[in-house]
Amino acid sequence: MGAALEPAVAYAQEAAAPGFDEIGPYIMTTLLFLVGGFLVFWMAAGFAMLEAGLVRSKNVTMQLTKNIALFSIASIMYWLIGFNLMYPGDGWIMAGWVGPFFSPTSLEPVGLDAADAALDYASVGSDFFFQLMFVAATASIVSGALAERIKLWPFLVFVVILTGIMYPISGSWQWGGGWLSEAGFSDFAGSTIVHSVGGWAALAGAIILGPRLGKYKDGKVFPYPGSNLALATLGTFILWLGWFGFNGGSQLAAGTVGDITDVSRIFSNTNMAAASGAVAALILTQIMYKKADLTMVLNGALAGLVSITAEPLAPTLFGSLWIGAIGGVIVVLTVPMLDKFKIDDVVGAIPVHLFAGIWGTIAVVFYNSDASLVTQITGIIAYGVFTFVVSLVVWIILKGIMGIRVSEEAEMQGLDTSELGMEAYPDFTKG
């Protein structure tokens, strides 16, 4: 009887699914993308809370509406156009510059057997989900800077273009294996590709939109205090938490002891940069203004996070500390600089994401021996020129066709009631 069973046993062994040594890296990297992805998703809540806390109470509902709408639009546009435009594989239309348009994302078939799966990376679903979170974060950056005076629907049209076309095209230059990747540009998790892109788009919008009524008058700057600094602080801590997924997931591998060790190093460096950015802003505002400024401290932490995002793996903890600290200093110095040019950025998104993003991309050369300062600056300029010019054109077209700014009466009344017909705090006096 034993002899009779031998062929069947041999056949079963030949047909056996791959062992864990073969399939383990695929499973672990897929899991890294999924865990990192839902941490970065939580950053959407962070942006919403930060913006809700830093705008006046009469504009809170509008900011919350924009944030949930932009995330939802980004999800659809990245499926419809963005993902395959950003990661074209061999499908470049212009080699290294532009991938295929209108190529919706397809996932693996339901019930795919391990023996039939491509085990060299991670599942398409996890990769798509993780990368989607980055494009949504880019749009959130624009939302905060242009708060309190922009119309809802022109802003959402801009989000369609940004998330479906602009971000995927420029992202493909590096992360899709395009010309900047070939040139040796280095941006681990997106100080430039994500954060400065959002900052450039926000800067173009702020210039075309103009400042809020009464913000700059007779050569003076009149601050508009936020409605809820508790919410703004909560939003910052949520963003800080989500950043561990943002940077840690960008390791893009979890299949070996070395990979997981590197992820832990990324977490530690990310945290150190945020902490030092906050402390630097805390100390500097005390020195400059004789009082610590909570909003600057919050943005200092975020600037530290942006600064370390371009290279969160290579630095020592001390390296992360000074890189993040310089990010915090940059915020404190550039916020009043923007005011001198009458560029009204409600939440400080341009100093945090654009200026600190540029700094972080340059700082890569201090710890990554393969990075070239010339190449890093080339990448910064390429992303800046492309995003700023295209954004400027789009904002001008939207201004001409739809109008992008609410009326003076609507702005004074508040966008919650004038644009949406509802209030965030109906039981309290409007701020």
pLDDT, tens digit, 9 for 90 and up, residues 251-303 = 999 989 999 999 999 999 999 999 999 999 999 999 999 999 999 999 999 99
> Is residue 47 situated within a structural domain?
yes
- The answer for residues whose C-beta is within 8 angstroms of residue 264's C-beta and 6 or more apart is none
Total domain count, the chain: 1
Question: Per the domain annotation, does 7 fall within a domain?
Answer: no
Query: Hey, is 424 helix, strand or coil?
Result: coil
C-alpha to C-alpha distances, 152 to 264, 325, 327, 336, 401, nearest whole angstrom: 41, 36, 31, 28, 14
Do the beta carbons of residue 91 and residue 101 sit within 8 Å? no
Q: Which of 88-92, 167-171, 314-318, 324-328 has the lowest mean pLDDT?
A: 88-92
Report whether 184 contacts 97 (CB < 8 A): no
Task: Judge whether 144 and 346 are in contact, CB under 8 Å.
Answer: yes
Quickly state the pLDDT bin for 16 (edges 50, 70, 90).
low
Lowest mean pLDDT among 95-99, 156-160, 382-386: 95-99
Q: Tell me the CB-side half-sphere exposure of residue 30, using CA atoms within 13 A.
A: 16
In a domain, 154, yes or no: yes
Q: What is the pLDDT of residues 326-382, one digit of tens each?
A: 999 999 999 999 999 999 999 999 999 999 999 999 999 999 999 999 999 999 999
| Selected residue with higher pLDDT from 1 and 163 | 163
Give the model's pLDDT for residue 117: 67
Domain hosting 47: range is: 20-107+117-420
Chain centroid to CA 310? 12
pLDDT at 12: 45
Helices 317-340 & 294-309 angle (0-180, nearest 10) = 120
Tokens read off for 185: 């540009």
Mean pLDDT over each residue of the chain, to the nearest integer: 93
In a domain, 12, yes or no: no
pTM of the model: 0.92
The alpha carbon dihedral of 44, 45, 50, 52 has a sign of: positive
Residue 2 scores a pLDDT above 50: no
Q: What is the pLDDT of residues 21-66, one digit of tens each?
A: 678 888 999 999 999 999 999 999 999 999 999 999 999 999 999 9
Q: Three-state SS string across 3-44, please?
A: HHHHHHHHHHHHCCCCCHHHHHHHHHHHHHHHHHHHHHHHHH
pLDDT at 128 over 90: yes
pLDDT in the model for residue 270: 98
Determine the pLDDT at residue 244: 98
CATH number of the domain bearing residue 189: 1.10.3430.10
- 187-228 pLDDT, tens digit per residue, is 999 999 999 999 999 999 999 999 999 999 988 999 999 999
